[in-house]
Structure 1
Amino acid sequence: MAKLLYGFSMSLDGFLAGPGGDMSWLTPYLRPDPAVDDLIPRIGALLVGRRTFGGDDPHRGDPEREGKAFGGGWEGPQFVLTHRPAAPVPDVTFVGDLREAVDAAKAAAGDKYVNVLGADVARQCLEAGLLDEILAMPVPVLLGDGIRIFDHPGGKTVPLEPLAPNWFRVVR
């Protein structure tokens, strides 16, 4: 059965995106990464937040990579969690309920991972007890401002079990 994984790049001061969701900060740091190269073929579906789906793209301006998952390194079914569906897009399903979106993505992924894209969707999955694993890929930069990972003042402590460098299982 599919596992729900939140894999993300973040600045060393804990930001996933710059102010306003700007992802251009990541562009100078995108390079071959063995952890990502190993992960991509193990992803069966994506669970994407609406802001992430329609948001900034670190590959903006590159016609070969812009708008494509992992810059074109992955293709497959995507499930966008939203109450505001967009115009139909091939291989994209818009879903209004978190559990329905997770169930649909897991069914589509088979025995592979469902990779979560979007800080708010990841937080919702964690709070609902649906997130199985986390892969944190630190980037050598301090952004100073932007969208933080799991930003939820007053949230509860979530224990994690190390599986590999920067890879953790959520302990329930």
Structure 2
Amino acid sequence: MAKLLYSATMSVDGFIAGPGGDMSWMAALPDTGPHEVADGLWQQIGSLVCGARTFFGDDPNAGTDSEGAFGGLWSGPQFVLTHNPPDRVVPDTTFLSDLGEAVTAARAAAGDRYVNVLGADVATQCLTAGLLDEILVFVAPVLLGDGVPLFRGPGAALEEISSTAGPIPSIWYRVVR
């Protein structure tokens, strides 16, 4: 069964987006060259689960070839949690209002690859429901001062799987149950 992975880039002070979900800070990050974890991550993802704020939110690459998940490299089935789905059809996207249904569908679609969770609220819901398996955090060299924190809600014990050093270090954790 596919594992649920929450991956996010956060500021040193713990925010994944600025106030109001502003993601413009991501476009201002310096190009640090190859990153052994980030560069191949998109190939390990079989489907996405995200909330409406993330899906319809601020993409710092909007209007460019890098628009979309993983800088435009990833495409595939997306499952968006919302109580207000759009009237129009969005290719490869299913809108659901139930977390359990969304995760079940995303796992089936992902096959033997990860279901990547996008968005702090959905990640917190998955953690609270005991569905989240792993967390991958990239730490960007910036202080946002305010915004959307990596998590809001209950705590959990984590066990480090791996970490990388560099201009944008990463830490990959397993959620201890």
Asked if Structure 1 and Structure 2 have the same fold, meaning a TM-score greater than 0.5 normalized by the shorter chain, the answer is: yes
What do residues 82-136 of structure 1 show as CA deviations (whole Å, max 9, x unaligned)?
1111121100000110000000000000010000011100000000000000001
- Indicate the residue corresponding to 1:164 in structure 2: 162
Task: Choose which of 38, 41, 46 in structure 1 pairs with 2:40.
Answer: 38
- Indicate the residue corresponding to 1:56 in structure 2: 58
- Indicate the residue corresponding to 2:18 in structure 1: 18
What do residues 11-55 of structure 1 show as CA deviations (whole Å, max 9, x unaligned)?
000001001100001112264432112211110000011100000
Query: Partners in 1 of 2:63 and 2:92 — Cα distance?
Result: 23
Q: How much identity, in percent, do the aligned residues show? A: 62
- C-alpha displacement at 1:61, in angstroms? 4.0
TM-score using structure 1 length: 0.93
- Indicate the residue corresponding to 2:128 in structure 1: 127
- Indicate the residue corresponding to 1:138 in structure 2: 139
- C-alpha displacement at 1:60, in angstroms? 2.7
Q: How many residues were matched structurally?
A: 167
Query: Partners in 2 of 1:93 and 1:167 — Cα distance?
Result: 28
Equivalent AA in structure 2 for residue 17 of structure 1: A
**SS state at 1:29 partner:** coil
TM-score using structure 2 length: 0.91
Instruction: Name whichever of 143-152 and 127-136 sits farther off.
Output: 143-152
Structure 1 vs Structure 2 CA RMSD: 1.2
Query: Partners in 2 of 1:103 and 1:30 — Cα distance?
Result: 37
Query: Partners in 2 of 1:76 and 1:33 — Cα distance?
Result: 23
Name stretches of at least 5 consecutive residues in structure 1 with no aligned partner. none
**SS state at 2:173 partner:** strand
Alignment of 1:107-122 (within 5 A): 107-122=108-123
Name stretches of at least 5 consecutive residues in structure 2 with no aligned partner. 164-170
Equivalent AA in structure 2 for residue 122 of structure 1: A
Equivalent AA in structure 2 for residue 148 of structure 1: P
